[in-house]
Amino acid sequence: MNIQKSYQEHTAAGKLYLVGTPIGNLEDMTYRAVRILQEVQLIAAEDTRHTRKLLTHFEISTRLVSYHEHNKHASGPELIRLLKGGDSIALVSDAGLPAICDPGADLVRMAVEEAIDVIPVPGANAALSALIMSGLPTDKFKFLGFLPRDKKPLTQELAAVNREQATLLCYESPHRLVKTLSAMEAAFGPDREIVLVRELTKRYEEALRGTLAEALLHLAEHPAQGEYVVVVRGAEDDPSAPRSEDAWWAGLTAEEHVARYEADGLDRKEALKRAASDLGVPKRELYNQLHRDS
């Protein structure tokens, strides 16, 4: 078991700070974020050119290095070596919190495996900012990240969350937005409530609230611009839906349940996801159960 006491134990190793940066407005930056970026020995950035502009604005002269999807296999171990040697490093993404839908998550995992303290420095986040301004339920939500680009896996992903009662959140680019919303309309129906939030904290911040059908009509006349957070109301509780004990999978073992979906043409990962959704359990829990039973 790995127990981290961020501020109570002093070790020879440095600390990995996950520093939130602005998602648009530079005033999103916190005092603590500026201080940490000034104090660490190194800043690892997704795009050094973008981050350099931020550092220049706040008069931060800390050494900057590149860490991104295409160099993480070489850069990651080197950063871990420096951390183990006593250097503290701040990880930043282009905007918002690092390690969400970016390779920073891999660096965090490597640091945890080496018992290096990982310390969050909270800041702006696009998904949560869109959620709290959406007007949709916030008590339960599910973040889907970036949905698949290809039609078949996109359709499968949306089918897997079709009955999810939590509010759904995802990121989407302007040139793919209509395609994604069309797939959502096919999966969820035209009347599912949706909020499209773009250009968060910037001058042209906008929230479009309506149904999927209304959103598609609007986009036909007003082409998408800027990066979007898509917020979708969860499915309504359906009293007529079959109870788990009456469902087709009742009486099947976990392996038989997954195998039925694989027989329908789904790959192992998607079959696991669908079976977990049927049972109302996290995919990881079902995965662990399958390995215990094997």
The pLDDT value recorded for residue 276 is: 82
The answer to whether 97 and 76 have CB atoms below 8 angstroms apart is: no
Backbone angles phi, psi at 211, to 5 degrees: -95, 170
193-198 and 228-232: which strand pairing? Answer: antiparallel
The pLDDT value recorded for residue 283 is: 79
The answer to whether 229 and 144 have CB atoms below 8 angstroms apart is: no
The pLDDT value recorded for residue 245 is: 55
Report which residue type is found at 162.
N
Residues written for the chain: 294
Phi/psi region, residue 58 (left: phi>0; alpha: psi -120 to 50; beta: rest), is alpha
Question: Residue 290: CA atoms inside 13 Å, Cβ hemisphere, count?
Answer: 20
- The candidate with the shortest Cα–Cα distance to 273, out of 184, 164, 194, 128, is 164
The pLDDT value recorded for residue 253 is: 87
The pLDDT value recorded for residue 163 is: 86
- For residue 59, the tally of other CB atoms under 10 A from its CB is 8
- The candidate with the shortest Cα–Cα distance to 107, out of 68, 64, 55, 62, is 68
Q: In what order do the strands lie in the sheet with 118-121?
A: 64-66, 42-45, 89-92, 16-19, 118-121
Question: In Å, how far are 5, 43, 84, 90, 170 from 119, measured between CA atoms?
Answer: 10, 14, 15, 9, 25
CATH superfamily of 16-124: Tetrapyrrole methylase, N-terminal domain (3.40.1010.10)
CATH superfamily of 127-232: Tetrapyrrole methylase, C-terminal domain (3.30.950.10)
The pLDDT value recorded for residue 11 is: 77
- The candidate with the shortest Cα–Cα distance to 12, out of 81, 78, 110, 85, is 85
The pLDDT value recorded for residue 265 is: 81
- The candidate with the shortest Cα–Cα distance to 101, out of 162, 131, 144, 56, is 144
Domain-wise residue ranges, the chain: 16-124, 127-232, 244-293
The answer to whether 119 and 7 have CB atoms below 8 angstroms apart is: no
Sign of CA dihedral 141, 145, 147, 148: negative
CA 163 – CA 140 distance, rounded (Å): 14
Q: Would you write out the chain's pLDDT as a tens digit for each of its 294 residues?
A: 888 999 876 778 999 999 999 999 999 999 999 999 999 999 999 999 999 999 999 999 999 999 999 999 999 999 999 999 999 999 999 999 999 988 999 999 999 999 999 999 999 999 999 999 999 999 999 999 999 999 888 988 898 888 899 999 999 999 999 999 999 999 899 999 999 999 999 999 999 999 999 999 999 999 999 999 999 999 987 655 555 555 677 778 888 888 888 887 888 888 888 888 777 777 787 877 877 776
